[in-house]
Structure 1
């Protein structure tokens, strides 16, 4: 039995994608046109949705599951 994939917002998805490309939080903030604090909010929300210990782990899980 597999668990359903968590619902992610488009911004959470974009932040995780940019993390996997090696971008830092300030880089992501600049690319998305928002504050670094807002990027962290989205990254932590995505991490929590995947119950991952780190943002990198959440990004890997998201990429493998096709989110």
Structure 2
């Protein structure tokens, strides 16, 4: 028996270019928009997190060098 996932509609308005990008990624990955958006957001989050961590490391290194 499959587990039913509840989807929450948020009503976000996306630009047509964003819709086209999502559609393209759906076709490439052969998945639905939920999985495409989740993976995209996860990758973006990790990228932002790495940038912030690098900033902290740089500041710490600069303080130690001073």
Q: Do both proteins adopt the same fold according to a TM-score greater than 0.5, normalized to the shorter chain?
A: no
TM-score category by the smaller chain?
0.3 to 0.5
Query: Which fold has the larger relative contact order, with Cα–Cα distance below 8 Å and residues 6 or more apart in sequence?
Result: 1
In terms of fraction of residues, the more helix-rich structure is: 2
Which of the two has higher C-alpha Rg? 2
TM-score w.r.t. length of structure 2: 0.40
TM-score w.r.t. length of structure 1: 0.40
